[in-house]
Amino acid sequence: MLPLLGLLIRAPWQTLPQRLTAPGVLAALRLSLLTATLATVVCLLLGVPLAWLLARTTFPGRGFVRALVTVPLVLPPVVGGVALLLVFGRRGLAGEWLDATFGLTLPFTTAGVVVAEAFVAMPFLVISVEGALRGADARYEEAAATLGAGRWTTFRRVTLPLIAPGVAAGAVLCWARALGEFGATITFAGNFPGRTQTMPLAVYLALEQDLDAAIVLSLVLLVVSVAILAGLRDRWLGAA
Amino acid sequence: MRVRAFVLAVVLAVAGCGDGGDPPAAGGVGGTVTVLAAASLTESFGRVGTLFEQQHPGVKVTFSFGGSSGLAQQITAGAPADVFAAASPATMKTVVDAGDSAGEPVTFARNQLVLAVPKGNPKGLTSLAALAKPEVKVALCAAQVPCGAAAAKALTAAGVKVTPVTQEQDVRAALAKLKLGEVDAALIYRTDARAAGGDVDGVEFPESASAVNDYPVVALKKAPNPSGAGAFVTFVRTPQAQQVLADAGFQRP
């Protein structure tokens, strides 16, 4: 909490209105919110099935796959960015093929930002959802199956509602991590205002020149993310 | 036991900070000289430091290399250091204005931009004007860092408008994008292109003359080792040290 207090005390309150309306602030904020949300969607689409595989099935090398899932947590994000470039870059393993076949290049694009954020944030979702699945009683699913429900119906009507709080918590962690992502983003997607310059990148570059501007940008990011997270939490608690 | 070991470690660390390492040897210069220097000086200052240690037996030089602006912030925030070498006079000014320098900074080297391209120059880029073509992917430094400011000046002088695919946070990051093959060209310092060895060719262009970067060095006011700081600042301007810098691609001031 102390560093947060330091930011609040050190903030240039007098010049705050001018700084907030400075060009680029809104663009970076919009890009940050958009990419973090898209990255969370990507993580949900890929991460929930992966968590289900890890929790409900047995296959050779499952322990190894589970360890691989946590790799982005351990890997310094800058190295993650380089690894993404080696795979999806212009000369990368998959990137060269993507470019030749579809004319698609990920580095230096907004889609590249989403890929970098999803890569780094995915473990938060998979680990929470897998935990929720292990905590959920599998007998409900078995009961549903004996009553004639198919696998997909069981998953949709029984499993998902059971683990909804775990999925929600995982998605929130995932979103928050994606929002603050810096290293992999600047390495893989570069930095261009309006296209790949998210708030953390804008903060870092502002720091090179103007400490006050960096503090204001950080405060904006903090206030917006806390407001969104608090708002979502109330809604979920109200629904529960 | 562990607590006692920890306390001992802290006491030793504090004692180490206090006297700057070993006590000064005869002749006034000794102990450890801590130098904060711009990232572009990494290779050349490493060699200059070795020469300095050879000339002053018993002295140890430790470097911390990084972006000039970040180092300047560390100094004004009270980081214990003896010497600061920056890649731009503007960054040095922030340290001088904060009252953290001992004396006036002196310029000890100059650096110019080159048009860096992959080895063999596959796209045949020979001038700044070639960078304006839409099919050429260019990495520049962000305008907030010295190499970005220099690039903007050179492009203005050439009357060329370039839309880079990325504005990198420092010159080495721009070089990394070039080495990885993600961009076709980058405007970086001649010294960085040379340090990249055989991977990168540096194409000289006339407009770089209008964006020459001066490198100032200064001893710091709160230096734990003032005599060592003074000796190092003097040493970087000796012919011996200047030769090392020239070999790395720097120009003499």
Show the tokens assigned to B9: 């470690």
Residue stretches of the annotated binding site of B: 40, 68, 171, 189
Query: In chain B, what residues touch A187 (CB-CB under 8 Å)?
Result: 173
Please tell me if residue A77 touches chain B, with a CB cutoff of 8 Å: no
Q: Test B144 with A108 for CB contact under 8 angstroms.
A: no
**B11 occurs within a structural domain:** no
Q: Test A108 with B182 for CB contact under 8 angstroms.
A: yes
Q: How many inter-chain contacts (A to B, CB under 8 Å) are there? A: 62
Query: Same domain, yes or no, for B202 and B118?
Result: yes
CATH label of the domain that carries residue A135: 1.10.3720.10
Nearest CA in chain A to B141: A191
CA–CA distance, B121 with A157 (Å, rounded to integer) = 60
A interface mutation test: which of B163, B182, B183 has the most A CBs within 10 A?
Answer: B182
Give chain B's residues under pLDDT 50: 1-3, 5-26
Please tell me if residue A51 touches chain B, with a CB cutoff of 8 Å: no
Query: Same domain, yes or no, for B117 and B199?
Result: yes
Q: Test B167 with A91 for CB contact under 8 angstroms.
A: no
**A180 occurs within a structural domain:** yes
Q: Which residues lie below 8 Å from residue B48, measured CB to CB, with a gap of 6+?
A: B235, B236, B241, B244, B245
Coil, strand or helix at A106 = coil
Pick from A90, A191, A209: CB nearest B181: A90
**A13 occurs within a structural domain:** no
**A9 occurs within a structural domain:** no
Total tally of structural domains belonging to chain A: 1
Pick from A89, A196, A208: CB nearest B181: A89
pLDDT tens-place string over residues A22-54 = 778 889 999 999 999 999 999 999 999 999 999
Pick from B73, B173, B182: CB nearest A89: B182
* Residue among A205, A212, A126, A135 at smallest CA distance from A169: A126
**A23 occurs within a structural domain:** no
Rounded to a whole number of angstroms, the distance between the first and last alpha carbons of chain B is 57
Query: Same domain, yes or no, for B106 and B221?
Result: yes
Angle formed by the axes of helices A25-56 and A199-209, to 10°? 130
**A197 occurs within a structural domain:** yes
State how far residue A151 is from chain B, nearest Cα, in angstroms: 44
**B20 occurs within a structural domain:** no
Residue stretches of the annotated binding site of B for molybdate: 40, 68, 171, 189
Query: Same domain, yes or no, for B106 and B140?
Result: no
The ipTM is 0.77
**B117 occurs within a structural domain:** yes
For chain A, the 3-state helix, strand and coil shares in percent, each to the nearest 5, are 80, 0, 20
Please tell me if residue A213 touches chain B, with a CB cutoff of 8 Å: no
Q: Test B142 with A91 for CB contact under 8 angstroms.
A: no
A interface mutation test: which of B71, B165, B183 has the most A CBs within 10 A?
Answer: B165
Q: Test B169 with A207 for CB contact under 8 angstroms.
A: no
For a pLDDT cut of 70, what percent of chain B falls above it? 89
Query: Same domain, yes or no, for B123 and B189?
Result: yes
Range of the domain at A232: 29-239
Range of the domain at B152: 113-210
Q: Spell out the per-residue pLDDT of chain A, length 240, in tens.
A: 788 888 888 888 888 888 887 778 889 999 999 999 999 999 999 999 999 999 988 899 999 999 999 999 999 999 999 999 999 998 888 988 888 888 888 999 999 999 999 999 999 999 999 999 999 888 998 899 899 888 889 888 998 899 998 999 999 999 999 999 999 999 999 999 889 999 999 999 888 777 888 888 999 898 888 888 888 777 665 554
Show the tokens assigned to A12: 């240039």
**A12 occurs within a structural domain:** no
pLDDT of residue B231: 95
**B15 occurs within a structural domain:** no
Query: Same domain, yes or no, for B54 and B36?
Result: yes
Query: Same domain, yes or no, for B205 and B221?
Result: no
- The one-character DSSP state at B24 is P
pLDDT tens-place string over residues B112-158 = 999 999 999 999 999 999 999 999 999 999 988 888 989 999 999 99
Q: Test A207 with B69 for CB contact under 8 angstroms.
A: yes
Interfacial A residues in 91-150 facing B (CB < 8 Å): 91, 107-108
**A202 occurs within a structural domain:** yes
Show the tokens assigned to B23: 């006590």
CA B85 centroid distance within chain: 7
**B62 occurs within a structural domain:** yes
- The one-character DSSP state at A194 is T
Query: In chain B, what residues touch A78 (CB-CB under 8 Å)?
Result: none
State how far residue B69 is from chain A, nearest Cα, in angstroms: 5
Total tally of structural domains belonging to chain B: 2
**A125 occurs within a structural domain:** yes
